[in-house]
Chains A and B, each alone.
Chain A
Amino acid sequence: MQRHFDEQIEQLKQQLLLMSGRAEGITRKALESLMRRDVALAEEVMADDKAIDRMEIDIEEQCIQLLALQQPLARDLRLIAASLKISNDLERVGDHAVNIAGCALQLARTAPVKPLANLPELAEKSIAMLRDALDAFVRGDAEAARQLVERDDEVDVLNRHLFAELMSRMIADPLQVERSMTLVLVGRNLERIGDLATNVAEEVVFSTEARIIKHHADEALGDFDRG
């Protein structure tokens, strides 16, 4: 039996997919503004973020309406609860992109920096995690989501390498400190995007399997049932 409610759930998923596309786009734009020292592009990021904020509110309203009007249970309930959190995670991805664009603006005012080997890779990995997390959500693929959680470690390692590289630059040349610190912040924001993608992946596992895997609370929801 295909129900109106199923269509609404499908719509909700599509909106989240669209929102994650926007979040990915804004992050790429922020990075591009950084690489190309493009002030106008960095300023676009700020405007794009407003649209993402708006989407978060729309999705929240949609979820609350579904909760109130459909009174969903079991997997429907979990999916809507997960959607609320995922939309919040995506909104924060937008905020990190804004932070990166802010760094781009700052760096555009100073002399160019020698390219960093790890930065593009860190950016690609974080963005790919986000995209794959949303794919896993839409497909309800808990296995793919679990693999993403492991990929976050790679992002963390890359960020540490980036930090080490910037640190040696600062030690070697104190004039590099301000620019390097700004790039440390860029790395930090990308690493946080990886964390948010991990959050999304954890929500996917919750939504599909009713298992809470975050904070290593690796137990089934409802294991309190001894009846």
Chain B
Amino acid sequence: MTVAPDPKPPLSSRPHVPERGPALAAGAAPPTRLAARDFHLYYGATHALKGITLEIPSGSVTAIIGPSGCGKSTLLRSFNRMNDLIPGVRTLGHLAVSGVDVGASSTDVVDLRRRVGMVFQRPNPFPKSIFENAAFGLRMLGMSDREVLAQRVEVGLRRAALWDEVKDRLDRSALQLSGGQQQRLCIARCLAVEPEIILMDEPASALDPTATARIEELVLELRGRYTIVVVTHNMQQAARISDHTVFMLQGVLVEHGDTRRVFTSPREKLTEDYITGRFG
């Protein structure tokens, strides 16, 4: 695997930079990176996802919004089969990452999770050094060449906009970093293994406004290079950082569209009521 020498290539050389709005429809449509077709998920007798169908274009940022318990995190975790870890989970229908069937028995789950990285609500660095945190995934993949590791760690930390803050103390414990830095370290850990997709489950909800702003800026920076799906309760955040917005309610996908449209003129009354706070 080769590493891009420049961690921040000019925008023009980034793959699949999605155009917003009309330009997207003008013929330069990027390929579908994530797709769900009539996807159902059951937690035992609970029908948590009810026939989800959607396509997420490569390089785009998609926000999933909806009230607690609507299934947004469940959908997110379905894309890298994190739900496999929960007993009693059953799925029906089809999920694909880059055209490959996620649910197929032949699918290598470890490789799937490398390609589909995940960042959680609470920063969860390991009680190890900053370097070892960023290198963790690489070591799990069997990489041990110190030079290659160092290079990949630097790329991950740079792309996560953390390098300048930690480059002189890579051997310090990650737990000494601030919450916002820890979260960016988790993003760096995810980026170091070169995923195609990053799933973020409320990545800024435990952070203060400044740290939140940095994460949001980072999402906009990573947009184009990676396909990003963010679950958020923060409507303004969804509006600021995403190209497309998905609104879910009680396990059903109610509306999926261009973020600018969804937040200015939603098609569905349920979406309108939810985003204007008149829900229920």
| Residues B264 and A74 in contact, CB atoms below 8 Å apart | yes
**Residues A74 and B21 in contact, CB atoms below 8 Å apart:** no
B272 contacts partner chain A, Cβ-Cβ < 8 Å:
yes
A225 touches B275 (CB 8 A): no
B166 to chain A, nearest CB (A): 34
Proximity bits, B243-280, A CB within 8 Å = 1, else 0: 01000000000001110111111100001100111101
Chain B residue at minimal CB-CB distance from A226: B25
**Residues in chain B near residue A1, CB distance under 8 A:** 278, 280
Cβ contact within 8 Å between B258 and A74: no
> In whole angstroms, what is the CA distance A225 to B271 when docked?
16
On whether A225 and B277 interact (CB within 8 A), knowing A73-B235, A74-B266, A74-B272, the answer reads: no
- Secondary structure at the A interface, as helix, strand, loop or mixed, is loop
Within the complex, which residue of B24, B25, B256, B276 is in contact with A74, where a contact is CB–CB below 8 Å?
A: B276
CA distance in complex: A107, B131 (Å): 86
Does B265 lie within 8 Å of A220, measured CB to CB? yes
Contacts of B170 in A (CB 8 A): none
Chain A contact residues, CB within 8 Å of chain B: 1, 3, 5, 71-78, 210, 220-222, 224-227
| CB pair A74 B263 closer than 8 Å | yes
Q: Are B280 and A74 in contact (CB under 8 A)?
A: no
Chain A neighbourhood of B239, CB < 8 A: 73
The reply to whether A73 and B275 form a contact with Cβ atoms under 8 Å apart is yes
Known contacts A73-B275, A73-B276, A74-B275: A226-B24 contact under CB 8 Å: yes
List B contacts of A224 (CB < 8 A): 21-22, 24-25, 258, 260-261
Residues in A neighbouring B276, C-beta threshold 8 A: 72-76
Number of contacts between A and B (CB, 8 Å)? 62
Best-buried of A3, A5, A226 by chain B (most CB within 10 Å): A226
Give the complex CA separation of A76 and B265 in angstroms. 10
Complex alpha-carbon distance, A220 and B264, angstroms? 11
**Contact of B260 with A222 in the complex, beta carbons under 8 Å:** yes
The 7 closest A-B pairs by CB, nearest first: A222-B261, A210-B265, A224-B21, A225-B258, A226-B25, A225-B257, A224-B22
Residues of B within 8 A of A (CB-CB), count? 26
Are B280 and A78 neighbours in the complex by a CB distance under 8 Å?
no
CA distance A3 to B273 in the complex (A): 13
The reply to whether A78 and B265 form a contact with Cβ atoms under 8 Å apart is: yes
Can you name the residue of chain B whose Cβ is closest to the Cβ of A5?
B277
Query: Inside 8 A of B2's CB, which chain A residues have their CB?
Result: none
A residues in contact with B265, CB < 8 Å: 74, 78, 210, 220-222
Give Cα A72–Cα B263 distance, bound, in whole angstroms.
Answer: 9
Q: How close is B57's CB to chain A, nearest CB, in angstroms?
A: 8
Contact across chains for A78 and B25 when beta carbons are under 8 A apart: no
A71 in contact with B236 given A76-B276, A224-B21 (CB within 8 Å): yes
- B5–chain A nearest beta-carbon distance, Å: 35
Name the one of B236, B256, B258, B280 contacting A222, with C-beta atoms under 8 angstroms: B258
Give the distance in Å from the alpha carbon of A222 to the alpha carbon of B21 in the complex.
Answer: 8
Whether A225 contacts B261 in the complex (CB less than 8 A), given A1-B280, A5-B277, A75-B276, comes out as yes
Given A3-B277, A78-B265, A225-B257, 10 more A-B residue pairs with CB atoms under 8 Å apart are A73-B235, A73-B263, A74-B265, A74-B275, A77-B263, A221-B264, A222-B261, A224-B24, A224-B25, A224-B258
Cβ distance B236 to chain A, nearest Cβ, rounded Å: 6
Q: Is the CB of B264 within 8 A of A222?
A: yes
Q: For the complex, what is the distance from the CA of A3 to the CA of B256, rounded to whole Å?
A: 27
Complex Cα gap A72–B276 (Å): 7
B257 and A227 contact, CB distance less than 8 A: yes
In the assembly, what is the distance between CA of A43 and CA of B55, in Å? Answer: 66
Bound CA span A210–B257, Å? 15
Q: How far is the CA of A222 from the CA of B268 in the complex (A)?
A: 13
| B residues less than 8 Å from A222 (CB atoms) | 257-258, 260-262, 264-265
Chain B neighbourhood of A226, CB < 8 A: 24-25, 258
| C-alpha spacing A221/B261, complex, angstroms | 7
- Residues of A close to B263: CB separation below 8 A: 73-74, 77
Q: Which residues does chain B contribute within 8 Å of A74, judged by CB atoms?
A: 263-266, 271-272, 275-276
A164 to B220, CA, bound (A): 61
Which A residues are CB-close (under 8 A) to B256?
227
CA distance A95 to B270 in the complex (A): 43
Most chain-B Cβ atoms within 10 A of its Cβ — which of A222, A225, A226? A225
Which of chain B's residues have a CB closer than 8 A to the CB of A210? 264-265
B246 to A, closest residue via Cβ? A227
Q: Which residues of A contact B236 (CB under 8 A)?
A: 71
Q: List 30 A-B contacts (CB under 8 A).
A: A3-B277, A5-B277, A71-B235, A71-B236, A72-B276, A73-B276, A74-B264, A74-B265, A74-B275, A75-B272, A75-B276, A77-B263, A77-B264, A210-B265, A221-B261, A221-B264, A221-B265, A222-B261, A222-B262, A224-B21, A224-B22, A224-B24, A224-B258, A225-B257, A225-B258, A226-B24, A226-B25, A226-B258, A227-B256, A227-B258
